[in-house]
Structure 1
Amino acid sequence: MSNNCMITFDQNEHGTYFTGQVVSGKAIVNLNKSKKLRGIKLEISGYACAQWRRKHGRVMPMHQVNVKPGRRRFVGREDYIASTTFLMGSEQGQVFNIDAGTYTYTFACPIPSHCPSSFEGMYGHIRYLAKVTFIRPGASNRTTNVGFTVLKLLDLNQESKMLREPATNEAMEYFCFMHDKPVHIKATLQQQGYVPGQFLLVHADVSNNSNSDCKKLMIMLYLRATYTADTPAFRTVSEKILLAKRESGPVVHHGQKSFTESLRIPATAPTCEHLSKIVRVSYEVRIVAVMNWLMANPKVVIPITIGNVPLATAGPGPGPGSSTSPPYADLPGDLPCTSARAMALAGASGFGNSAFEHTELEDYELPEDGDDEFETEEDLPPELPPPTYEQAMFMTADIADNDTNTVSEAARFTPRYPVFDVDTFQSPPPNPPQKKRRRRRHRAEPRQLTKQALKAESQEKEREPVESPVQI
């Protein structure tokens, strides 16, 4: 019977809502023959739940509610929405016959402003459901579950001003093996606030003073989820999910090298550390230098914030003659912002591993008067295009009802999150201002000459008469 029910959302094909909005839709029941029922119930629910079990000291996810005796089970739950409406009959009402046909019921439920964003993890979730239950006499109830995504607005412009500032962290690992000298890593991020779809630019300086080579440098973006249970005791567990990864290197022993890598932030939930007591979501960038198996791997961790409203641009930046502000004094040269141009400088061909070149950034000039090599920029920054709502593929879960007195078929659900196209903007994010590089049209030609042509040209110059600089 569950296949005979369909739940749709009004003016929202994928069922994505922000807090404060009203989730509305239709429950369509299609029966090919008459049925005996006690009632039809519609529930709109939203809750955070964490559950896991411990076996031999190990934490294991719990995919079923019923657990064998002797295994310790930890559970935590927090409810946000609990709306129940009987479309027909009641829980303990009289049995009635419902004729064959199609029945359409509308529903609407406001979403409180304090609800956290949807999230699906290994040891818990923040889930919002629309469920229709057919209460049958003398048989198990049948349910139809449909999930919808709720997003808590996290405007990076309304958060801490530190999100606009660069972030720098460093680590140094000392090795006692054969009196090796330390390995030093210094990592820099252009800003600390991002949105899905934006490119995160990481600059790392590696100084390998040890006697062993650094095999590679791994730059990773992690989602860290922390789950809290209060039954039978207060316990917490955490989970790390790898969202993006780049590899650079190697760095030979007693050598130094700099790397600039870019990571695209996929569709994911916004940072949530205070709204829910059960599930907390945070993000961090981790840079690890992989050394010899006998040595510890130096690592640098920089926390970041991911929201769903990007940082507003500050308009055109100052010219090349203006002095660099103190917060950017420690950055390596004029490190470009997280834009399409920055991606090209970080390695345009497949975003490969390439060292950061100072010479490529210092040779900038303004166009001369009448030079039409550059297009004129408008004073006002362009408007941000609307985001697309994409699925977070690493959060797919089965939302079927697992009650023993209920028959529910498997239902897969994947939350959707707004993904922005920030980096195709002409106006840069709030980062150090870029300098225009003047295109060279004719300077590259002498580099293409062969050795014979260069030799012939030098011989011709020797034959030409040279005027004396002293006037007689």
Structure 2
Amino acid sequence: MTDFQPSIEFEKDIYLPGEEVTGRAWLSTNKNLKAKSVEITFTGKSVSSWKGGKAVPAKPNQKAKEIYVEMKHEVWTPDDEENTFPSGDYEWKFSFELPKNCPPSFEGKSGFIRYSVLLHIDVPNGKAKNIERAVTVSPIIDLNNITGAGEPIKMNVDTTAYFCQCMPCLPARGNVVYTLSSPKLGYVPGEAVTVSGQINNGTSKPIRIIQAKLNRRITYREELQGKAKNKKRNAQNADGFKSKIENQVLETKIERCNIPPNTNSDFAFAFVIPPVIASIRNSKFITVDYFVSIWGDTGVCNRTEPASLNILVGNVPLASGTASLPPQKFVDGNAAQCWNAYLKPEFTYQIPYYGI
């Protein structure tokens, strides 16, 4: 089958949920060959996969897979019993409808959400010929349609400051209480998110540094239902899932201060949302969340947890008056490409991919 030159082309590079993915597949051969059939398959799926225990340190194992759409069309069959595929040029147009609520394309270190078209040529008594190309699906997260997206958010977090991080057996030295608020829950890339509030220093040491971070948390999940070896659940998988967390710091800001013991002080930080993928909450095994964390440093060997305020990142701003998407930024191009192998020892980003 070395004379085959198959290709796949989409009518455009980016599609939205509910749209039809259209394009064409074609191939050329300069002599008669053998083939039992030619099929075109459109698939949308998420896969989570990460390394196992120490017994298999370098090879990832697929943990979970969710299929959003899968459609197959047989576009060619032979006219004779010899399975003759005559020489010439062939073209097949295709059209596949995306589900209205499907999650967007996403590439992570321990999984992906991917939509692709596969051209499969079934070769009798030989290795099948396949070519696959992925298409980028952009989300439609209209903040105007999400309850509470435009409402102010506020929370109080009480954290314990331990005397020494390296010696947790020592007694705690007080509490740090945070009050965090933001004018609204929902933002879009390019908008500034402001988080303000107050720190109440209930420890015996002064707070001299306040650190604020804009974070992204990607959660990859493995479903444990039906796996006998996981019948004994712990706190991590009490809900029937086992998770792997990937935390990414998008921006960090530091403010020097002096908050004596048993006093409080106000703070305010602002971050501009970079061109990232919107929050993903409609995938069973991969979720993407954003939050701003605030942390007061109470000194050497400090051991306290930061206080976090979740925000929602969409791509249609509040009170925009239109459902059209703002300009999107894609890294190194504007159309995703499939990997040659289904799983590799290390997940690497497709170029381009949606996000940063």
Partner of 2:168: none
Conserved in 1, the CA contact under 8 Å of 2:315 and 2:326? no
1:301 pairs with 2:283: no
TM-score, normalised relative to structure 2: 0.75
**Which residue is 2:268 aligned to?**
260
Query: Which one of the candidate residues 280, 291, 297 is aligned to 1:272?
Result: 280
Q: Of residues 236, 239, 243 in structure 2, which corresponds to 1:237? A: 243
Quote the offset at 1:235 in angstroms.
Answer: 3.1
Measure the CA separation in 2 of the matches of 1:130 and 1:230: 30
1:267 aligned partner, one-letter code: P
Give the structure 2 partner of residue 350 of structure 1: none
The percent identity for this pair of structures is: 19
Give the structure 1 partner of residue 236 of structure 2: none
Query: 1:18 Cα deviation (Å)?
Result: 1.8
| Contact 1:75–1:232 (Cα < 8 Å) also in 2 | no
1: CA distance, partners of 2:58 / 2:245? 11
Aligned residue type for 1:164: G
Q: Which amino acid aligns with 1:252?
A: N
Confirm whether residue 399 of structure 1 aligns to residue 328 of structure 2.
no
Residue 44 of structure 2, aligned match among 43, 46, 49 = 46
Residue among 214, 218, 224 paired with 1:220: 214
Equivalent residue number for residue 150 of structure 2: 164
Following superposition, the deviation at residue 198 of structure 1 comes to 2.2
User: Which SS does the other structure have where 2:277 is aligned?
Assistant: coil
Q: Which whole-Å CA distance do the structure 1 matches of 2:264 and 2:206 have between them? A: 13
1:123 is matched with which residue: 93, 99, 110? 110
AA paired with 1:277? Answer: K
Mapped partners of 2:151, 2:252: distance in 1: 23
Matched with 2:231 is none
- How far apart in 2 are the matches of 1:238 and 1:397? 25
The 3 A distance-change label for structure 1 pair 5 and 218 is: same
Change (3 A) 1:94 1:34: closer
Q: Secondary structure at the match of 2:131?
A: strand
Q: Does 1:187 align with 2:202?
A: no
Q: Could you tell me how far apart the structure 2 residues matched to 1:3 and 1:296 are?
A: 63
Partner SS, residue 296 of structure 1: coil
Distance 1:153 1:34 in 2: 47
- Residue 359 of structure 1 is matched in structure 2 by none
Q: Which runs of 5+ in 1 are unaligned?
A: 64-72, 314-380, 404-409, 420-472
SS for the counterpart of 2:92 is strand
Indicate the SS of the match to 1:157. Answer: helix
Matches of 1:2 and 1:204 in 2, distance apart?
Answer: 67
Find the counterpart in structure 1 of residue 122 from structure 2.
Answer: 135
Paired residue for 2:64?
A: 76
Which whole-Å CA distance do the structure 2 matches of 1:402 and 1:117 have between them? Answer: 19
Q: 1:215 to 1:38 in 2, by over 3 A?
A: same
Q: CA deviation at 1:222?
A: 1.7
1:91-113 superposed Cα distances (whole Å, 9 cap, x missing partner) = xx8432442x5432211111222
Distance in 1 between residues matched to 2:10 and 2:62, nearest whole Å: 35
Residue 282 of structure 1 is aligned with which of 286, 289, 292? Answer: 289
TM-score normalised by structure 1 residue count = 0.59
1:261 is matched by which residue type in structure 2?
F
Does residue 85 in structure 1 map to residue 73 in structure 2? Answer: yes
Distance, in Å, in 1 between the alignment partners of 2:84 and 2:275 is 47
Asked if structure 2 preserves the Cα contact closer than 8 Å seen for 1:221 and 1:242, the reply is yes
Displacement of 1:205 in angstroms is: 3.5
| CA displacement 1:191-222 (0-9 Å, x = unmatched) | 10112332222225445564255345132222
**For the aligned residues, what is the CA RMSD?**
3.7
Q: Please list the CA deviations of residues 338-394 of structure 1 after superposition, one character each: whole Å capped at 9, or x if unmatched.
A: xxxxxxxxxxxxxxxxxxxxxxxxxxxxxxxxxxxxxxxxxxx9x79852232268x
Q: 1 CA distance for matches of 2:324 and 2:101?
A: 28
Larger helix share, 1 or 2: 1
Which residue of 1 is the match for residue 257 of structure 2?
A: 251
Deviation at 1:167, TM superposition (A): 1.7
Distance in 1 between residues matched to 2:338 and 2:300, nearest whole Å: 40
1:389 aligns with 328
Write the letter of the residue equivalent to 1:235.
Answer: F
TM-superposed CA distance for 1:17, in Å, is 1.6
How far 1:237 sits from its partner (Å)?
0.6
1:35-58: CA deviation from partner (whole Å, max 9, x where unpaired): 443333211111223334531499
Tell me, yes or no, if the aligned pair for 1:9 and 1:23 is still in contact at 8 Å: yes
- Contact 1:398–1:413, Cα closer than 8 Å, also in 2: no
Contact 2:36/2:77 (<8 A) preserved: yes
| SS of corresponding position for 2:256 | coil
Specify the alignment match of 1:446 in structure 2: none
SS of structure 1 residue aligned to 2:26: strand
Moved more, 221-230 or 173-182: 173-182
Matched, 1:145 2:132: yes
Write 1 or 2 for the structure with the bigger share of strand.
2
Q: Which of 7, 16, 19 is matched with 1:18 structurally?
A: 16
Structure 2 CA distance, aligned partners of 1:37 and 1:157? 52
Question: What is the identity, as a one-letter code, of the residue corresponding to 1:17?
Answer: Y
Larger radius of gyration: 1
Distance 2:286 2:339 in 1: 18
* Correspondence list, 1:284-363, <5 A: 284-312=291-319
Are the structure 2 counterparts of residues 186 and 111 from structure 1 closer, same or farther at C-alpha, using a change threshold of 3 Å? same
Instruction: Tell me what 1:458 maps to.
Output: none
Q: Structure 1 residue 251: deviation in Å?
A: 2.5
Q: Provide the rounded CA distance (Å) in 2 between the counterparts of 1:411 and 1:246.
A: 24
Contact 1:289 1:298 (8 Å CA) reproduced = no
